[in-house]
């Protein structure tokens, strides 16, 4: 009886254990064996960010030869109109904007990115929204279902400094048509 149990167990385990490729990598359950790997550096087409008039390039006003004051503070000379309501107790300008290259942003690891790649910066904290954005569930994209696409940046809909949408006042219900044919 023990021999039969051992043979039955071995016969059951063998097909599961053999699910793999020649190098021993698992390719069985839930793995797409024929799918191409995601490209290491994928280009995503986006329109330019909606900068306020006269605000970009930042280097027009920020002189790179002057020392940068990295101290968190209330701005008094410029950008007073910015009301930071984006995790304000933990965030400040230079958490996202580069102090050394004013016309660029930087990721948490220090990698500099262009403003057209700001979705990478947003995605560091808002990973679920980034995933949904890439899938076309969050935000807006146009193009082909299985081909070329153009995405709107997060900042095309959300203010980067205060991303929550302001409450909207509901409109009154539509007027009933007169007569209605009843």
Q: CA-to-CA distance for 159 and 113, rounded, in angstroms?
A: 19
Residue-by-residue DSSP string for 87-155? STTT--GGGTB-SSSTT-EE-TTS-EE-GGGHHHHHHHH-HHHHHHHHHTSSS-EEE-TTS-EEE--GG
Residues of the chain with pLDDT under 50: 1-40
Which pLDDT score is estimated for 120?
Answer: 93
Would you say 85 and 161 are in contact if contact means Cβ atoms under 8 Å apart? yes
Domain residue ranges of the chain, discontinuous segments joined by +: 54-62+83-160
Q: Which two tokens stand for residue 88?
A: 């304000």
Q: CA-to-CA distance for 86 and 97, rounded, in angstroms?
A: 14
Which pLDDT score is estimated for 35?
Answer: 29
Which pLDDT score is estimated for 5?
Answer: 42
């Amino acid at each position: 009886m023990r021999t039969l149990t051992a043979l039955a167990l071995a016969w059951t385990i063998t097909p599961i254990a053999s699910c793999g490729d020649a190098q021993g990598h698992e390719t069985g359950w839930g793995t797409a064996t024929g799918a191409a790997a995601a490209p290491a550096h994928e280009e995503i087409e986006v329109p330019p960010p909606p900068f306020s008039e006269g605000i970009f390039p930042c280097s027009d006003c920020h002189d790179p030869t002057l020392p940068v004051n990295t101290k968190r503070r209330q701005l008094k000379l410029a950008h007073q109109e910015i009301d930071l309501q984006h995790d304000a107790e933990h965030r400040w300008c230079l958490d996202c904007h580069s102090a050394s290259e004013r016309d660029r942003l930087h990721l948490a690891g220090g990698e500099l990115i262009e403003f057209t790649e700001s979705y990478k910066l947003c995605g560091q904290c808002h990973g679920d929204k980034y995933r949904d954005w890439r899938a076309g569930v969050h935000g807006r994209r146009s193009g082909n279902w299985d081909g070329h696409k153009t995405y709107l940046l997060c900042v095309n809909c959300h203010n980067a400094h205060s991303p929550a949408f302001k409450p909207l006042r509901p409109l009154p219900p539509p007027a009933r048509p007169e007569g209605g044919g009843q």
